[in-house]
Structure 1
Amino acid sequence: MDKNNLEQIIFGGGCFWCVESCFNMLKGVESAISGYSGGHKENPTYEEVCTGTTDHAEVVQITYDPAIISYEQLMDVFFFLHDPTQLNRQGNDIGTQYRSVIFYKDDAEKQSAEKALKTSEESGRWSGTYVTELAPFEKFWPAEQYHQGYYNVNPNQPYCSAVVGPKIQKFKKHFGELGMLNIE
């Protein structure tokens, strides 16, 4: 991986434990870090974000090598991992912090996000109208250390067993068949 040519993308698709775990398995992804973005509170905590009053979303900051994995492939994974037709929720996780959102850094990235959103919506993968928000990136706040790699440390925690684990298995099956995973 060429560390000089790495790029970043930030998006939210529900609980960041699910999203982070999967992206960290992809070839070409150097890191996926859980955090918060899109709100007005400086240095928000998990407890504050969970109140819904900070306007932050649970997000993942992906650092990747575009020579190995493309923006479009990352967007395909993003739209695979969550239901972009659910407004301010993913399954039983309800609140604006669980919204579907893509943060873009410039007009070119906004156009790429719009194209990826349209491509996914036209694919018919999810029935219904997409509610994914496109928002200008302002600031990323890393989540507390105990959230980083949470599933890997806590696979038997009830939420992880019931929600994260099955999602990861579905992800591994689909993207493993495409040869995109950096695991055996």
Structure 2
Amino acid sequence: MSQLKELYQEQLQEIYRLNEIEFPDSFFALGDFILSLSTDEQEDFWSSLLNLYPTGPLQCLLDLAQGSFTRPEHAHTEFYWLVYDQYYMDLPEFLTCFTTDTAGQHWGLLLDDPALGFRGVGYFYNADPSSMVIYDSILDMINARFDDAIEDCEAWIARDFDAETYREYLECAQLWKPRFNIKSD
């Protein structure tokens, strides 16, 4: 079992009012991986995923582990987490964990059947009316993001679209993908 899970599972359950529902092991495995990196390595890691950023419960876990967690100002409301790093129009069963510089693009843990617990990670892009893409776990989502980043960068470079910038992203993603070798739940 992850040390992060042992230390912070109950606090996260209390913060997110999910007392009977455990956060998945893959969630804590990702936290362990991120926290094993230096600050510069963490920045490089997120950059290699085309500027993916932790938010919501993932940022909360990282802050708890680093001793820097503070409840948001509106924490006095019973379900403050519904508006804490959630996107407008998202269902409460979607706990946003990642976002990017692209407005409206976000990924979150799915809890659409509380009796079964979290069932994976969904991707949603507000500007795209297509259905939500669902990954089996947070680790599968990160691996898919690496594949997408590499494929997208290669396509942008081939079209000579800001080739130097995307060449740097491509090299960064190619460097980090093999380093991120955590197996899914």
Superposition TM-score, scaled by structure 2 size: 0.29
Higher helix share: 2
Higher strand share: 1
- Higher RCO, Cα 8 Å, sep 6+: 1
Superposition TM-score, scaled by structure 1 size: 0.29
